[in-house]
């Protein structure tokens, strides 16, 4: 990409082409402009800005999409948009979250609703001026959608990396952001010793094998914390807190999987004998 095209409404966003810009301004980016969302991104931290992913997901589709396709009582999706359904049906672990975790989700949902009220998304090109004691049934419906979208994001998002070798003698990784990729998140479980690696190419994420995978062996992803870098107790505690499960991969079942830092400095004599034969 040699030249970018600036947004016509805000000064913080540029697009890859005029067509890309025009399509965005007719849909989701018009609401981002009303919020001046990317100015906030420059002021905040990466982790703070990630909470807006659920809001960005919501405004990518018109209000009528949700009213026509999601049951207001059960929140079941009954539409034909397969990409949306794959994302909507991902796990949230809502029933197994701690009280502190759910409180955090509720606070973020209220923040996102207040942001939504600052746009014309809900009320026919008119920003909403209301307090939370006078919310309509429709407002509450979209609040529940935002909450579920944040829960899905919180449990299923993957980091997006790029190659960073500008300041190092070795090639490293630079974090660009995060995204939800249902084809990977829905179908591949975590292992602290995974047999795949994730590769980002543009807006697409690929899962490719990192070693030979035998017939009948499960194909696994890694959410974070490889066994060679972090000890088992720390990994298990973090995965339980962040993803609501206790890892039972091979590296966690055995106490003998040491981190690189704790490996013996010398090769044991019996291993030397095996290597010679």
Domain boundary among 104, 133, 156: 156
Residues 200 and 122 in one domain: no
How many independent structural domains does the chain possess? 2
Q: Buried b / exposed e across 190-209, counting CB within 10 Å, b at 16+?
A: bbbebbbebebeeeebebee
Residues 102 and 230 in one domain: no
Domain boundary among 116, 133, 156: 156
Long-range contacts of 215-219 (CB under 8 A, 24+ apart): 218/189, 218/191, 219/188, 219/195
User: Which DSSP symbol is given to 121?
Assistant: T
What's residue 233's pLDDT? 93
User: Based on the number of CB atoms within 10 Å of its own CB, is 50 exposed (0-12), middle (13-18) or buried (19 or more)?
Assistant: middle
Give me the CATH number covering residue 234.
2.170.270.10
Q: Is residue 175 part of a domain?
A: no
Residues 49 and 111 in one domain: yes
For tokens 């939370």, what's the residue? 132
Residues 10 and 132 in one domain: yes
Full residue range of the structural domain in which residue 200 is found: 188-262
Give residue-wise pLDDT tens across range 131-140: 666 788 999 9
Q: Is residue 162 part of a domain?
A: no
What's residue 47's pLDDT? 60
Residues 146 and 219 in one domain: no
What's residue 247's pLDDT? 94
CB neighbourhood size of 91 (10 A): 15
Q: Is residue 271 part of a domain?
A: no
Residues 144 and 18 in one domain: yes
Residues in CB range of 30: below 8 A, 6 or more apart: 9, 24
- Distance, in Å, from the CA atom of 135 to the CA atom of 272, rounded to the nearest integer, reads 73
CA atoms within 13 A on the CB side of 78: 10
Residues 223 and 114 in one domain: no
Residues 24 and 103 in one domain: yes
| Residues of the chain predicted below pLDDT 70 | 1-2, 40-49, 124-133, 165-171
Give residue-wise pLDDT tens across range 181-240: 999 999 999 999 999 999 988 888 999 999 999 999 999 999 888 999 999 999 999 999
Domain boundary among 156, 172, 201: 156
> Do 177 and 162 touch, CB atoms closer than 8 A?
no
Q: For strands 157-164 and 189-190, give the pairing.
A: unpaired
Q: Is residue 179 part of a domain?
A: no
What's residue 203's pLDDT? 81
Residues 24 and 79 in one domain: yes
Nearest Cα neighbor of 110 from 139, 83, 134, 143 is: 143
Dump strand ranges (E) for 131-229. 157-164, 172-180, 189-190, 196-201, 204-209, 220-221
CB neighbourhood size of 254 (10 A): 10
What's residue 230's pLDDT? 93
Residues 18 and 140 in one domain: yes
- Distance, in Å, from the CA atom of 154 to the CA atom of 146, rounded to the nearest integer, reads 12
Residues 150 and 20 in one domain: yes
What's residue 70's pLDDT? 97
Which DSSP helix (H) or strand (E) runs through 15? strand 14-15
Q: Is residue 72 part of a domain?
A: yes
Find residue 174's DSSP bridge partners.
Answer: 162
Q: Is residue 270 part of a domain?
A: no
Which DSSP helix (H) or strand (E) runs through 141? helix 137-156
> Do 244 and 96 touch, CB atoms closer than 8 A?
yes
What's residue 254's pLDDT? 87
Q: Is residue 176 part of a domain?
A: no
Residues 145 and 18 in one domain: yes
- Distance, in Å, from the CA atom of 224 to the CA atom of 210, rounded to the nearest integer, reads 16
Q: Is residue 180 part of a domain?
A: no
């Amino acid at each position: 990409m040699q030249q970018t095209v600036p947004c016509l409404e805000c000064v913080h966003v540029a697009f890859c082409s005029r067509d890309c810009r025009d399509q965005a301004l007719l849909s989701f980016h018009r609401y981002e402009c009303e919020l001046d969302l990317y100015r906030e991104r420059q002021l905040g931290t990466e982790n703070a800005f990630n909470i807006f992913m659920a809001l960005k997901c919501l405004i990518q589709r018109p209000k009528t999409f949700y009213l026509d396709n999601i049951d207001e009582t059960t929140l079941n999706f009954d539409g034909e948009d397969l990409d949306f359904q794959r994302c909507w049906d991902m796990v949230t672990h809502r029933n197994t979250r701690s009280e502190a975790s759910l409180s955090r989700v509720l606070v973020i949902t209220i923040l996102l609703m207040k942001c939504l009220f600052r746009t014309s998304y809900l009320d026919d090109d008119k920003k909403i001026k209301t307090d939370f004691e006078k919310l309509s049934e429709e407002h509450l419906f979209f609040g529940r959608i935002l909450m579920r979208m944040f829960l899905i994001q919180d449990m299923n998002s993957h980091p997006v990396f790029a190659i960073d070798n500008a300041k190092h003698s070795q090639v490293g990784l630079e974090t660009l952001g995060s995204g939800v990729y249902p084809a990977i998140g829905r179908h591949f479980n975590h292992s602290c010793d995974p047999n795949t690696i994730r590769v980002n190419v543009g807006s697409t994420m690929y899962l490719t094998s990192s070693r030979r995978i035998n017939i009948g062996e499960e194909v696994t992803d890694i959410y974070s914390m490889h066994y060679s870098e972090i000890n088992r107790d720390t990994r298990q505690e973090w995965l339980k807190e962040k993803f609501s499960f206790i890892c039972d991969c091979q590296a966690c079942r055995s106490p003998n999987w040491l981190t690189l830092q704790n490996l013996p400095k010398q090769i044991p004599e019996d291993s030397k004998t095996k290597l010679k034969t």
